[in-house]
Amino acid sequence: MLGKKVVVTGVPGVGKTTVINGAMERLATEGVAYKAVNFGTFMFEVAKKENLASDRDEMRKLEKDVQKRLQQAAATGIAAMSGEANIIIDTHSTVKTPTGFLAGLPEWVLRELMPDIVVLVETDPDQILMRRLGDASRARDMEGYRAIAEHQEFNRAVSAAYAMYTGCTIKIVRNENFLLEQGIDDLVSVLR
Ligand code: AP5
């Protein structure tokens, strides 16, 4: 039997990886096994090998066709390893590039992954900005409230197209300050 494929998305710094890690820990105690893979890491492995980027935050600044090629390579790699396991794919509904929003799950990626559920992790834009400022390990874009709000709105619109193409469901998970456990509960409820 094929495993469940759950794609978890959200604007940079919203806390996707934090919520995924919490949900995986919780599910492990219940005996529910999931494998979590990071789409950006798959892309970055290829980008590094080809000397295209020296850190993961540089990738969204690469020429569009280069990003699309890395994206295709990641989708193929992830599809090849998913098989019967339940899998969480940590990625982006859209990526903000210098020439506009790039779909994170265009048709050629969806065809490979065919997710059962697409999760959008969201919170208030001012919280996201503070998280970006507080995470020195990354070079995330510094944007204002309105730009982050627009990116979250655009992600919802694009995710509707993903649902139309694949028949997946769309789940919105809030990851608010001081309420991480609530976000984890919500994600666990769709992963179970
Ligand atoms: P990616 O690999 O996805 O970057 P990432 O570091 O995994 O994710 P983000 O930067 O989005 O952060 P996050 O939301 O996981 O937040 P975190 O949990 O770390 O992407 C790298 C690159 O790969 C992209 O830029 C793009 O170029 C490329 N890429 C990926 N997918 C692609 C696709 N499909 N197509 C094309 N390109 C693609 O948390 C952030 C901070 O917030 C932390 O300090 C954390 O402690 C804090 N925090 C989290 N939750 C809370 C809370 N509830 N309260 C307070 N603080 C919190």
Decide: 177 in ligand 1 pocket, CB within 6 A. Answer: yes
pLDDT of residue 67: 97
Q: Take atom 16 of ligand 1 and give the residue whose Cα is closest.
A: 15
CA 1 to ligand 1 centroid distance, Å = 31
Express each pLDDT in 95-138 by its tens digit.
999 999 999 999 999 999 999 999 999 999 999 999 999 999 98
The verdict on whether residue 14 carries a ligand-binding annotation is: yes
DSSP assignment of 117-129 equals EEEEEE--HHHHH
Decide: 118 in ligand 1 pocket, CB within 6 A. Answer: no
Domains, in order of start, for the chain = 5-191 (3.40.50.300)
Task: Copy the structure tokens of residue 86.
Answer: 């339940």
| Rounded distance between C-alpha atoms, residue 182 and residue 121, angstroms | 12
| Rounded distance between C-alpha atoms, residue 148 and residue 1, angstroms | 39
Going by pLDDT thresholds of 50, 70 and 90, the confidence category of residue 1 is low
ipTM of the complex: 0.96
Decide: 71 in ligand 1 pocket, CB within 6 A. Answer: yes
Given ligand 1 and candidates 56, 108, 118, 121, which is best to mutate, with the most ligand atoms within 8 Å of its CB?
Answer: 56
Angle, helix 16-29 to helix 180-191, in steps of 10 degrees:
60
CA 58 to ligand 1 centroid distance, Å = 14
The verdict on whether residue 11 carries a ligand-binding annotation is: yes
pLDDT mean over 142-148 = 95
How would you classify residue 49: left for phi > 0, otherwise alpha for psi between -120 and 50, otherwise beta? Answer: alpha
